[in-house]
A and B are shown apart, each in its own frame.
Chain A
Amino acid sequence: NAGVTQTPKFQVLKTGQSMTLQCAQDMNHEYMSWYRQDPGMGLRLIHYSVGAGITDQGEVPNGYNVSRSTTEDFPLRLLSAAPSQTSVYFCASRHTGAGGPKNEQFFGPGTRLTVL
Chain B
Amino acid sequence: KQEVTQIPAALSVPEGENLVLNCSFTDSAIYNLQWFRQDPGKGLTSLLLIQSSQREQTSGRLNASLDKSSGRSTLYIAASQPGDSATYLCAVLSGNTGKLIFGQGTTLQVKP
Interface residues of A (CB under 8 A from B): 33, 40, 42-43, 45, 48, 50, 58, 90, 92, 103-110
8 Å CB contact of B43 from A42, A50, A58, A109: A109
Chain B residues with Cβ below 8 Å from A92 are: 100
Interface residues of chain B: helix, strand, loop or mixed (majority):
strand
**A45 CA / B91 CA spacing, docked (Å):** 12
User: Are A42's CB and B102's CB within 8 A?
Assistant: yes
**A91 CA / B88 CA spacing, docked (Å):** 18
User: Chain B nearest CB: distance from A7 CB in Å?
Assistant: 13
8 Å CB contact of B104 from A42, A45, A108: A42
Q: Which B residues from 10 to 43 make CB contacts under 8 A with A?
A: 31-32, 34, 36, 42-43
Chain B residues with Cβ below 8 Å from A103 are: 31-32, 49, 93
Nearest neighbor of A43 in chain B, beta-carbon distance: B102
User: Are A108's CB and B34's CB within 8 A?
Assistant: no
User: Chain B nearest CB: distance from A26 CB in Å?
Assistant: 16
What is the total of A-B residue contacts with beta carbons within 8 Å? 41
B46 within 8 A of A: yes
Interface size class of B (residues with CB under 8 A): 20 to 34
User: Are A110's CB and B104's CB within 8 A?
Assistant: no
Chain B residues with Cβ below 8 Å from A90 are: 43-44
User: Are A104's CB and B103's CB within 8 A?
Assistant: no
User: Are A48's CB and B99's CB within 8 A?
Assistant: yes
Q: Using known A-B contacts A42-B105, A45-B99, A103-B32, determine if residue A110 contacts B93 with beta carbons closer than 8 Å.
A: no
**A103 CA / B52 CA spacing, docked (Å):** 11
**A116 CA / B87 CA spacing, docked (Å):** 28
